């Protein structure tokens, strides 16, 4: 009997902005002091940056 683990599952993570599930290998990431944020693309990353800048001004 063959006991090999033939897992074809790809690790998925959520985009930190839109929460869309994306393959970890395709994610763009930004490292912060206490966390790593993952993004599905530059559009979500730009939105995230703008929201963070707005929060810092308040």
Q: Where are the domains of the chain?
A: 12-57
Q: In this predicted model, what pLDDT tens digit does every residue of 1-58 receive, in sequence order?
A: 454 444 567 899 999 999 999 998 888 888 876 788 899 999 999 999 999 899 888 8
Question: Which of left, alpha, beta for 7 (phi over 0: left; psi -120 to 50: alpha)?
Answer: beta
- Using CA atoms, how far residue 21 sits from 11, 27, 56, in Å, is 10, 10, 28
pLDDT value of residue 8: 63
Buried b (16+ CB within 10 A) or exposed e, 34-48: eeebbbbeeebbeeb
pTM for the model stands at 0.66
Q: What pLDDT score does 6 carry?
A: 45
CATH class of the domain whose range is 12-57: mainly beta
Confidence (pLDDT) at 33: 66
């Amino acid at each position: 009997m063959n006991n090999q683990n033939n897992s074809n599952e790809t690790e998925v993570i959520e985009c930190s902005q839109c929460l869309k599930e994306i393959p970890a290998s395709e994610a763009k990431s930004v490292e912060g002091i206490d966390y790593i944020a993952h993004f599905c693309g530059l559009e979500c990353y730009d939105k995230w940056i703008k929201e963070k800048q707005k929060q810092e001004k308040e």
